[in-house]
Amino acid sequence: MIDERSRKKLILEHSRRMNAADVDGLLELYADEVTFEDPVGSGRRTGRDALRAHFEELAAAGIAEIPGEPVAGQDGVHVLVPVTATMDYLPKGPGFAERGWLAAPDTPESSRITWDYVLMMRAGAGGLIQELQMFWGRSDIGIAG
């Protein structure tokens, strides 16, 4: 079990490193056999290599996360935080449009994706993140600019 304060710091550190595009530093927060799903319902993926590819795409799009106040579960392992984020439409946006999650913009080169989501993390005994899930739906994502 990890105390509440440590779990809250861990999830905020995740956003700080994501905003810094520090993919290597971000991966240091994760267990080797991490499982993740972004968004929940899109299919679970496993391992740091898959997570690296996912984080590299987000970093390439200039993601900027603004986390809210984290909430820790009483189970000693879970923590959640609401996030408002933006990133460039390219390179990930066309995939979102193909899935019907948002409409393609007229000017993809200068457009940004905006969305609200909740990050859920489960930490292990060693203090590393073992599971990451992002909860958001079609009504939570849009285009700005």
The residue behind tokens 């240091």 is 28
**Count of alpha carbons within 13 angstroms of residue 141, beta-carbon side:** 25
Q: Would you give the end-to-end CA distance of the chain in angstroms?
A: 44
Q: What is the pLDDT of residues 46-61, one digit of tens each?
A: 999 999 999 999 999 9
Q: Which residues contact 7 (CB under 8 A, 6 or more apart)?
A: 70, 72, 77, 78, 79, 121, 123
The mean per-residue pLDDT over the stretch 27-46 comes to: 95
By three-state DSSP, how is residue 139 classified? helix
Q: What is the pLDDT of residues 101-136, one digit of tens each?
A: 999 999 999 999 999 999 999 999 789 999 999 999
Handedness of CA 41, 62, 66, 48 (dihedral sign): positive
Looking at residue 105, its pLDDT comes to: 96
